[in-house]
Structure 1
Amino acid sequence: MGKRQVGELEPSELVLSLIIADLASVPMQDYGIPLLTGILPILALLAMTMILSVLTMKSVRFRALMCGRPSIVIRDGLVDQREMARNRLTIDELLEELRAKGYTDPATVKYAILETNGQLSVLPYANQKPPTAQQLQVSAEESGLPLVVISDGRLLEHNLRALGRDRKWLDQRLEERGCSGLEAVFLLLVDQTGSIYLARKDMSV
C-alpha cells in the first residue's frame, strides 16, 4: 500500500487491512489453530492486493472502478448540492474542511474537489492566492533541505558530512551561540546555505 495514513487508504485497501487484522488475530487467540492456517490466507490476500495494484496502474477504467473518481463540490464559488448529496457530504463537513484549509467563504474558492481518499482539495481564485517571489519580481535564494546535525545531544556525523562541514565548523557555530558542547543542544538544523536553527536542551526535563 506504500506510505499512507489510514485516512488516505482507498475503500478496498481499508477493507483489506481489516480482514488481514481479523485473520491474524484468530491463530494468536486460539493456540489449537496452527499459525500456518492464519498465514496462508493473509499471503493470498497480499498477493491479490499486488495484482489489483498492478491492474490499477495499467487500466484507467479499472482504477475508476476500484478507487472511484474525484467529485467537484464547489465550482466557481457555487456549491454543487447534487455532488454533495451523491457523496453524502453535509454542509457542516464541507465548511469544516474549508476552514481547515484556511478558507471561510466558499465564494473565494474556484474549485473544491473531494478526492477519492476523502480529502478535500481547495483551489482558490487567482486573486485569493498569496503572491510568489517571482510575481513580485524579488530574487529568493534557495536554502536547500535542512538536515538534522544534532538530535537530543547526539551528533549525526553523516548529515554533517553531507553538508560539506566538519566538526571544527560545528564547534565554532556552537561557541558563537554560547553552547558549551553537544549535550547542551536539543536540536540543530543546518541547510545548504549554512543557515542554522538551534534549540537548547531544557535541563529541567
Structure 2
Amino acid sequence: MFLQLTIKLLLGFVGLFIITKVLGKTQFSQVTPFDFISAIFLGEVVGSALYDEKATVITMLYCLFLWGLLMLAIKVLGQKSLKIRGWIDGRPSIVIRNGRIIRKELKKNRINIHDLMYLLRQSNAFSVREVEYALLEPNGSISVLKKSDYDTVKRQDLNLPPQQVYLPTTLITDGEIIGDNLKAAGFDKKWLELQIQSHGINEVKNVLYAEWKVNEGIYIVSYS
C-alpha cells in the first residue's frame, strides 16, 4: 500500500509542479509556484483524511512526512544552488525595457496587454509612457521603475499651481481598434490611421498598443 501511495505522491508532486509552471506567473498572487503546490497538496491530504473513511491517521501522517521531506530537500537544494532556486521559484521577467514593451516576455509568461495595463495601474503607473522598466515578479506582481520625468514630486513642493490631470484612453490593443474608446476621445478611424502612419506603421494590425492622453497626445507601440 505504501509503495503505491509513494508512487502516487511523487507523481502528484511532479504533475502539480509542471502544471503550475505551464500556467504562468499571473496565476499566483503573493506565493511562489512551489508554495502554491504545497498548499494545494497539503490541503488535499488533510481533506482526504477528514472525509475519506478509508484514509487512516497513519496514512495521512505518512503522506505529510514524505511531502515534508520533499519540500525540505527542494529548499536545501535551492539554498545551495542559485540555478536550482531560480528553476523552482522562478526569476523576474523584464516586460518593459527602456520604455519598450518586450512582447516576447509577455508571450512567455502568458499575459496580454490588458493584463499588463492592470498590473501597471496597481503599481500607480496609468500609462506605458511613464515606465522605464517593469519587472514581472515570480509571484505574479509587477515592479515598476518610472522615467525621471514621471517621478513623484508634489507640485506644492515646487510652489506650482494645481494642474488638471487626465486619464489615458486605450485606442488599440493587439492590433484591434477599441471603437468605443476612440469615439469617446472624439476621434474617428481615419484620424487614427493617419496617426499610426505618421509613426511609420502601415496598418493598425501592426500596432501592439496605442493610447491617447489629452495633454500628451498619442502614444504608439508597434510589434517588435
- When the two structures are superposed, what TM-score results if normalisation uses the length of structure 2? 0.53
| Structure 1 residue 31: Cα displacement | 3.4
| 1:26 to 2:30 alignment | no
Q: Which runs of 4+ in 1 moved over 4 A?
A: none
Alignment of 1:1-205 (within 5 A): 7-131=29-153
Return the structure number with greater helix share: 2
Query: Once superposed, what is the RMSD of the aligned Cα atoms?
Result: 2.1
Task: Please give the alpha-carbon distance, in whole angstroms, between the structure 1 residues aligned to 2:54 and 2:33.
Answer: 33
| Structure 1 residue 131: Cα displacement | 4.7
Task: Please give the alpha-carbon distance, in whole angstroms, between the structure 2 residues aligned to 1:121 and 1:98.
Answer: 8
Instruction: Specify the alignment match of 1:147 in structure 2.
Output: none
| Structure 1 residue 68: Cα displacement | 2.1
Task: Please give the alpha-carbon distance, in whole angstroms, between the structure 2 residues aligned to 1:33 and 1:130.
Answer: 58
User: 1:69 is paired with a residue of what secondary structure?
Assistant: coil
Task: Please give the alpha-carbon distance, in whole angstroms, between the structure 2 residues aligned to 1:39 and 1:93.
Answer: 41
1:164-189 CA-partner distances (Å, limit 9, x unpaired): xxxxxxxxxxxxxxxxxxxxxxxxxx
Equivalent residue pairs, number: 129
Task: Please give the alpha-carbon distance, in whole angstroms, between the structure 2 residues aligned to 1:48 and 1:32.
Answer: 25
Consecutive unaligned residues in structure 2, runs of 5 or more: 1-27, 159-224
- CA gap 1:68/1:32 in 2 versus in 1, 3 angstroms: closer
Instruction: Report which structure shows greater RCO (CA 8 Å, sep ≥6).
Output: 2
| Structure 1 residue 126: Cα displacement | 2.6
1:98-150 CA-partner distances (Å, limit 9, x unpaired): 11111111111110000111111111123322259xxx9xxxxxxxxxxxxxx
User: 2:139 is paired with a residue of what secondary structure?
Assistant: coil
Higher Cα radius of gyration: 1
Consecutive unaligned residues in structure 1, runs of 5 or more: 1-5, 137-205
Task: Please give the alpha-carbon distance, in whole angstroms, between the structure 2 residues aligned to 1:33 and 1:114.
Answer: 41
Task: Please give the alpha-carbon distance, in whole angstroms, between the structure 2 residues aligned to 1:76 and 1:46.
Answer: 43
